[in-house]
């Protein structure tokens, strides 16, 4: 495992003071993402190397989709997650906002949180890569042909046909890399993740996982259920759904690739680990907001009812 040369960044805040407001201290990362950050905070993380050991050292991340605002991005970047999954597929981000949010999260996290972008379609990956994404998720991948197109768009020749962007980093100016490879070395460390969301993709999971440039397989539990004619209530219960999940996670394990499946809350983490997930994705910003708002209301209401009972 590489050891970072960046020293120990100062604490983001006072943990004891935060706990006074009910905010726990962030646990230590294992291993620290500082070991995988770029030479500067605007560089891509070496996410491929970190994902490669996720079976022995699982990662913890979170979805970011509902509130694309700098203040929210800064708070997420300082929360302590190994990675943040920026969901461009279901949120109307612009290329400019993608750049801004990635940089805010990486700068605010001081090299402890990588950003993965789920693109809405194949032609959007260039904006995500040029913005500095440490990984890109391609949704609705069902065939090897689709996967190869995605890979080709992500890798420079001779592996793929990605065009070299001259302005994302200026040659020799801010593209320093440890082995002297410049932008090509930096971007070569970014991960390619295929999201499987139907039965055809599950049946092809072994072939998809066998592709050398693929770093992880992600399961889309909701869309998988819908593709099978099921509902959210059938997730985790229907035999066809369970069979597809097993095929995807078995393929990832057999080919030593990372595996992902988004969760609605942290209580699902144990079950996901048992099923074969190596990159936990716990909750999302909209769910955290909804839960927090309602839980605070319920708590205050219970205390109000208790107070009323003393006045009766």
Q: Summarize pLDDT for 103-157 with one digit per residue, the tens.
A: 999 999 999 999 999 999 887 887 888 888 999 999 999 999 999 999 999 998 8
Listed residue (77, 57, 115) closest to 280, CA to CA: 57
User: How confident is the model over 46-54, as a mean pLDDT?
Assistant: 97
Q: Is the pLDDT of residue 10 over 70?
A: no
Query: How many independent structural domains does the chain possess?
Result: 1
Q: Does 209 fall in a domain?
A: yes
Higher local confidence (pLDDT), 301 or 10: 301
Q: Is the pLDDT of residue 192 over 80?
A: yes
For residue 145, what are the domain limits? 16-287
Q: Does 11 fall in a domain?
A: no
Higher local confidence (pLDDT), 16 or 205: 205
Instruction: Give φ, ψ of 217 to 5 degrees.
Output: -115, 130
Residue 101 and residue 285 in contact, taking contact as beta carbons nearer than 8 Å: no
Q: Does 169 fall in a domain?
A: yes
Q: Is the pLDDT of residue 179 over 90?
A: no
CATH number at residue 216: 3.20.20.60
Of how many residues is the chain composed? 312
The fraction of the chain above a pLDDT of 70, given in percent, is: 97
Q: Does 295 fall in a domain?
A: no
Which pair of tokens denotes residue 47? Answer: 């996410």
pLDDT at 165: 79
Q: Does 262 fall in a domain?
A: yes
pLDDT at 149: 95
> Which pTM does this prediction carry?
0.94
Q: Does 301 fall in a domain?
A: no
pLDDT at 62: 97
Which pair of tokens denotes residue 48? Answer: 């491929």
- Of the chain, the end-to-end C-alpha distance in Å amounts to 65
pLDDT at 311: 87
Q: Is the pLDDT of residue 1 over 70?
A: no
Class of residue 182 by CB neighbours under 10 A (exposed 0-12, middle 13-18, buried 19+): middle
Phi-psi domain of 41 (left: phi exceeds 0; alpha: psi -120 through 50; beta: other) = alpha
Beta strands in 101-177 (DSSP E): 114-118, 135-138
Which pair of tokens denotes residue 229? Answer: 């004619």
Q: What angle do CA 125, 251, 49 make, to 5 degrees?
A: 55
Q: What is the mean pLDDT of the chain?
A: 92
Q: Does 191 fall in a domain?
A: yes
User: How confident is the model over 5-16, as a mean pLDDT?
Assistant: 72
Q: Does 217 fall in a domain?
A: yes
Class of residue 37 by CB neighbours under 10 A (exposed 0-12, middle 13-18, buried 19+): buried
**CA dist., res. 189 & res. 72, Å (int):** 27
**CA dist., res. 207 & res. 252, Å (int):** 10
Residue 112 and residue 34 in contact, taking contact as beta carbons nearer than 8 Å: yes
pLDDT at 296: 95
pLDDT digits over 53-105, tens only? 999 999 999 999 999 999 999 999 999 999 999 999 999 888 899 999 999 99
Higher local confidence (pLDDT), 126 or 199: 199
Q: Can you tell me whether residue 291 is helix, strand or coil?
A: helix
């Amino acid at each position: 495992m590489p050891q970072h040369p960046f020293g120990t960044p100062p604490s983001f805040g006072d943990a004891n003071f935060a706990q006074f407001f009910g905010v726990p201290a962030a646990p230590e990362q294992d291993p620290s993402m500082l070991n995988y950050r770029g030479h500067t905070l605007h560089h891509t993380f070496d996410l491929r190397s970190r994902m490669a050991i996720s079976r022995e050292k699982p990662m913890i991340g979170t979805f970011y989709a509902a509130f694309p605002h700098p203040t929210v991005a800064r708070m997420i970047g300082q929360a302590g997650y190994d990675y943040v999954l920026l969901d461009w597929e279901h949120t109307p981000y612009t290329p400019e906002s993608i750049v801004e949010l990635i940089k805010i999260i990486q700068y605010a996290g001081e090299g402890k949180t990588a950003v993965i972008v789920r693109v809405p379609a194949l032609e959007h990956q260039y904006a995500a890569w040029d913005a500095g994404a440490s990984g890109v998720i391609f949704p609705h991948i069902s065939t090897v042909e689709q996967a190869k197109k995605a890979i080709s768009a992500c890798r420079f020749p001779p592996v793929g046909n990605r065009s070299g962007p001259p302005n994302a980093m200026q040659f020799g100016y801010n593209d320093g890399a440890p082995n002297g490879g410049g932008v090509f070395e930096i971007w070569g460390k970014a991960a390619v993740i295929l999201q499987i969301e139907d039965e055809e993709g599950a049946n092809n999971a072994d072939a998809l996982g066998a592709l050398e440039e693929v770093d992880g397989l992600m399961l889309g539990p909701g869309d998988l259920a819908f593709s099978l004619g099921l509902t959210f209530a059938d997730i985790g219960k229907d035999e066809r759904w369970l069979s597809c999940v097993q095929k995807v996670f078995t393929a990832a394990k057999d080919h030593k690739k990372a595996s992902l499946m988004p969760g609605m809350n942290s209580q699902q983490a144990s079950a996901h680990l048992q099923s074969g997930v190596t990159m936990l994705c716990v909750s999302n910003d909209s769910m955290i907001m909804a839960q927090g708002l309602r839980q605070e209301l319920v708590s205050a209401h219970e205390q109000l009812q208790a107070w009323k009972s003393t006045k009766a």
